[in-house]
Structure 1
């Protein structure tokens, strides 16, 4: 079990470091230039993923709370609430990123073109709505989780060494699960729709370019590379999110958490926020150029 915990520590450490690097890059990009909507969305998604990795499986917060000598009940409620909020925001902001990129690359003759000039005006309000909705919707975690009590009569479901889910009315639990599922299905449906649109657009654009230029002169534009990156992230997100959702939903419905399954869920839950910055770093020419400029300086310093 200790080896598995070391893997989780390595995964979360890599995720935090990679996201911190990307976050610093976007801070300088946003403050130094006129930011694009995609950059602002990616900046917020990166920040969300840092908090998500830190609270995922309470690997980091457990140690921090123990150093601060904070009560177990507060540890549990804070960890689960923040993590649920960040998970909800992750799917919302990823969906927004997919929609904005689809609108950005759409030709002037398409139906989406009329929304281009409205992007910067309305997506700030979308951020506010997403944060407000998820902060309020996840508030049930404050009441449904708490410090583990070694009393069998309470019918608790222990999920960590100090934290457990408390029994909840089956109707309320089913209602929360239904609303969460509907939200996720709706957002994933939008992501798949916009992703299909972008794939069709890229295919048609590639075919047109082959008629105009020889293949050896073809070079992917920044817009095309950004679209391919977002498509990759969306597909990866959909797979990882639904695996995590299936595991957590099954556990809640059966009211049973197996330590092995819980460990697998922690790993799956942190996979997307860990992979996302690595994909961004490897596919964004601006970040690659920054790394190329930093490498000679770091080499000289050592």
Structure 2
């Protein structure tokens, strides 16, 4: 069990460090120059993923809050609510990344081109919509999550050491499941559609560059690198999402969470917010150049010392 804890600690630490680093980087970019829509979306994404990792089960697993004398019921309700909100925001934000990148790289002759000059305004409106929806929709977790009691296992589904889900009305449960599934299927459909559109644009661009014998320019294109990164993140998100979704729905219908299933789901549901910052850091030329400058400065200081 200790080795499993070490895996969770490593994943949580890596996720928090990567996302906090990106959060400071994008915040600095936004505050010191005219922000680009994609930087604003990426900044929000790093905040969402930081909160997802922090509220994703690691602190319950280690009972780190016990020393703070926080009521278990309050802890369970707040932490579950925060995680569900952030999970919903994550899929919405990933969809935003895909849509806005598709608009950014769209040719001037396409129907999407007319939206380019107002992308910043649209980003702000999109933020307000997705936050309002997810904050209100996820509020049901406050009523159906509580601290574990001495009731029989048929009346509660333990999902952590100290927290459990309690039964809800079948109509309400079915309605919540239907709305959640409909939202996620729609957003994933949009992601896959825009991803296909971006692949087609990249393919056409590559053919044109080959024809013009300027393939080196294509490889150096920041737009292409950003598009490839977003495509990779979308594919990674969709795969992990359906694994998590399958486990959640199966456990909900059977009203049972065994320890092995719960462990696998904990690892899966935090894999995306952990891997995402690593992919972004390795693909953003601004971050790479900044790290190279910092390395050069450190080497100079060592030589002078």
Q: Same fold (TM over 0.5)?
A: yes
Report the secondary structure of 2:100's partner residue.
helix
Report the secondary structure of 1:139's partner residue.
helix
Other-structure match for 2:128: 128
- How far did residue 218 of structure 1 move? 5.0
In 2, Cα distance between equivalents of 1:45 and 1:51: 10
TM-score (norm 2): 0.95
Other-structure match for 1:233: 233
- How far did residue 219 of structure 1 move? 2.9
Other-structure match for 2:282: 282
In 2, Cα distance between equivalents of 1:275 and 1:109: 36
- How far did residue 2 of structure 1 move? 2.1
CA contact (8 A) 1:49 1:86 kept: yes
Deviations 1:42-70 (A, max 9, x none): 00000000000001124379644222110
In the alignment, does 2:40 pair up with 1:27?
no
- How far did residue 163 of structure 1 move? 0.5
In the alignment, does 2:266 pair up with 1:266?
yes
- How far did residue 154 of structure 1 move? 6.9
The change in CA–CA distance for 1:81 and 1:220 in structure 2 (over 3 A counts) is same
In structure 1, list runs of 5 or more residues that go unmatched: none
Provide the aligned C-alpha RMSD in A.
1.6
The change in CA–CA distance for 1:132 and 1:171 in structure 2 (over 3 A counts) is same
In the alignment, does 2:43 pair up with 1:67?
no
In the alignment, does 2:155 pair up with 1:155?
yes
CA contact (8 A) 1:229 1:280 kept: yes
Other-structure match for 1:257: 257
Deviations 1:5-49 (A, max 9, x none): 210110010000011111111111111111110000000000000
Other-structure match for 2:48: 48
Report the secondary structure of 1:213's partner residue.
coil
| Count of aligned positions | 302
- How far did residue 158 of structure 1 move? 1.0
The change in CA–CA distance for 1:285 and 1:160 in structure 2 (over 3 A counts) is same
- How far did residue 216 of structure 1 move? 5.5
Other-structure match for 2:221: 221
Other-structure match for 2:15: 15
Report the secondary structure of 2:35's partner residue.
coil
In structure 2, list runs of 5 or more residues that go unmatched: none
In 1, Cα distance between equivalents of 2:232 and 2:173: 34
Report the secondary structure of 2:146's partner residue.
strand
Report the secondary structure of 2:232's partner residue.
helix
Report the secondary structure of 1:138's partner residue.
helix
In 2, Cα distance between equivalents of 1:128 and 1:193: 24
Deviations 1:132-175 (A, max 9, x none): 10000000000011000012287111111110011111221111
Report the secondary structure of 2:257's partner residue.
coil
The change in CA–CA distance for 1:11 and 1:60 in structure 2 (over 3 A counts) is farther
Other-structure match for 2:296: 296
Deviations 1:59-91 (A, max 9, x none): 379644222110100111011100000000000
Report the secondary structure of 1:286's partner residue.
helix
In 2, Cα distance between equivalents of 1:192 and 1:79: 31
Where in structure 2 are the equivalents of 1:79-228 lying within 5 Å?
79-152=79-152, 155-215=155-215, 218-228=218-228
Report the secondary structure of 2:23's partner residue.
helix
CA contact (8 A) 1:58 1:79 kept: no
In 2, Cα distance between equivalents of 1:151 and 1:4: 29
In 2, Cα distance between equivalents of 1:56 and 1:284: 27
CA contact (8 A) 1:229 1:283 kept: yes
Report the secondary structure of 1:17's partner residue.
helix
TM-score (norm 1): 0.96
